[in-house]
């Protein structure tokens, strides 16, 4: 079986708020789903910092606004570096348990 179709709006550069949040919009989905959006920084030296994760439920025919709150460690890293290269993953699962995974990447910029 195939999982639900994922439509996610992500720009190449996204700015965090002063409160350490990043906003994403998930396009309308045909069926009720649950999901997880997770963010990790890409580091040259193995691994990276886990920036944040949010679990959500998406209702059929509606868009979902997802707000990921950065961890303290991620907020400190962003303040130091002023920008971070980020890899994210969205996993959607429908009522039957079918899953869809969508990886994405962008540059996270510190608040002005």
The model's pLDDT over 18-64, given as tens digits with 9 standing for 90+, comes to 999 999 999 988 999 999 999 999 876 545 789 999 999 999 999 99
The alpha carbon torsion through 86, 64, 5, 37 (nearest 10 deg) reads 30
Residue whose C-alpha is closest to residue 74's, from 105, 37, 110: 110
Mean pLDDT, rounded, for 6-27: 93
User: How far, in Å, CA of 41 to CA of 86, rounded?
Assistant: 4
> What domains are defined for the chain?
8-109 (2.60.40.2550)
The model's pLDDT over 67-108, given as tens digits with 9 standing for 90+, comes to 999 999 999 989 999 999 999 999 999 999 999 999 999 999
Residue 76 sits at the vertex; the CA angle it makes with 70 and 79, to the nearest 5 degrees, is: 100
- Residue 82 contacts by C-beta under 8 Å, 6 or more apart in sequence? 109, 110
What is the residue whose two structure tokens read 């193995």?
46
């Amino acid at each position: 079986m195939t999982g639900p179709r994922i439509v996610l709006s992500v720009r190449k550069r996204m700015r965090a708020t002063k409160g350490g949040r990043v906003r994403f919009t998930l396009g309308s989905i045909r069926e009720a789903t649950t999901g997880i959006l997770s963010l990790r920084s890409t580091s040259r030296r193995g691994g990276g910092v886990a920036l944040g994760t949010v679990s959500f439920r998406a209702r059929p025919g509606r868009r979902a606004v997802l707000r990921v709150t950065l961890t303290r460690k991620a907020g400190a890293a962003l303040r130091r570096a002023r920008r971070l290269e980020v890899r994210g993953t969205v996993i959607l699962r429908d009522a039957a348990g079918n899953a869809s995974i969508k990886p994405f990447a962008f540059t996270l910029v510190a608040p002005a």
